[in-house]
Structure 1
Amino acid sequence: MTTAGDIMHRGAQWIPATETLDRAAQMMREMDVGALPISDSNERMCGMLTDRDIVVGCIAAGHDPSRTTAGDMAQGTPRWVTTDSDVSDALQQMQGHQIRRLPVIDENKRLVGMISEADLAGHLPEGQLARWAEDVYAMP
């Protein structure tokens, strides 16, 4: 059985809910990523922040990214898998909720990695990857 821990990329980092979006953008640039999980004060996931959220939800809406926090942008129910989850569970989460990046947590509920499209492309057979993309990118 291939697990989420087998295909994730390590080194993912939280952005605290209290951190500003300008700092979030700097972190994304430094880590060369397009999304950060948002953590509450107990380092529990309370949302996801994407580069698109910053641009469309903050800047294009006329808000100041130096005054808007990651927590202000947190919406919906966060999704994740554990390191020992079967890859099929990760795919189900991503397909069912049309998400492109999925945080991976360990047994202590600490963030240890992320599964992205690139991770899937490197580990899934072509047909399975095509089905995943079809489901994730389908218009609701």
Structure 2
Amino acid sequence: MTTARDIMTAGAECAGAEESVLEAARKMTRLEVGALPICGTDDRLKGVITDRDIVVKVLGQGKDPAAVTAGSMAQGEAVTIGADDSAEEIFSTMTSHKVRRLPVIDGRRLVGMVSLADAARALSDPKAGQLIEALSTD
């Protein structure tokens, strides 16, 4: 059975909740990623910030990215996947929450991120197609 641990990108770096959105964007650029988990000073996962969040919720609304904190972008409880959860569970979670990236948790510790592309590669062709279709609809 293929698990999240098998297909994730390990060592995910966090955007600090008190860090500015500008700093988070610079970190995304440096790491060449489109999303970062948001971690609080207590090292607990607060949410995920995406490049789209920055464009739509900050820049598109005329806000100063140096003045907005990454933590303010967290909405509700973060959707996560367990490190030992199967590719089928990743598929189900991404589909039901309509997300393209999931933080991977081992116990309470963030151990990586799994993306739509990671999940699609791990699933059979019909499932990959279903996942992409489900995430592409509003």
TM-score normalized with structure 1 length? 0.93
Q: Decide whether the 8 Å contact of 2:2 with 2:122 is kept in 1.
A: no
Corresponding residue for residue 106 of structure 1? 106
1:1-140 counterparts in 2 under 5 A? 1-107=1-107, 109-139=108-138
* Letter matched to residue 113 of structure 1: G
3-state SS in 1 of match to 2:61: coil
Question: Partner amino acid for 2:111?
Answer: V
Aligned counterparts of 2:64 and 2:113: Cα–Cα separation in 1: 28
Contact 1:38 1:48 in 2 (8 A): yes
After TM superposition, the runs of 4+ consecutive aligned structure 1 residues lying more than 6 A away are: none
Q: Separation in 1 of the partners of 2:47 and 2:74?
A: 5
Q: Distance in 2 between matches of 1:40 and 1:56?
A: 23
CA RMSD of the aligned region, Å?
Answer: 1.1
SS in 2 for 1:79: coil
Tell me how many residue pairs correspond in the alignment.
138
Q: Answer yes or no: is the 8 Å Cα contact 2:120–2:131 preserved in 1.
A: no
Structure 1 residue ranges without an equivalent (≥5): none
Q: Distance in 1 between matches of 2:67 and 2:87?
A: 38
Find the residue that maps to 1:42 and give its secondary structure: coil
Q: TM-score, normalised by structure 2?
A: 0.94
The more displaced of 90-99 and 72-81 is 72-81
Distance in 1 separating the partners of 2:11 and 2:41: 20
- 1:77 positional shift: 2.4
Q: Secondary structure at the match of 1:65?
A: coil
Name the CA distance, whole Å, in 1 between partners of 2:99 and 2:80: 11
Q: Hey, what's the Cα distance between the residues in 2 that align with 1:83 and 1:120?
A: 13
Q: Distance in 2 between matches of 1:73 and 1:79?
A: 14
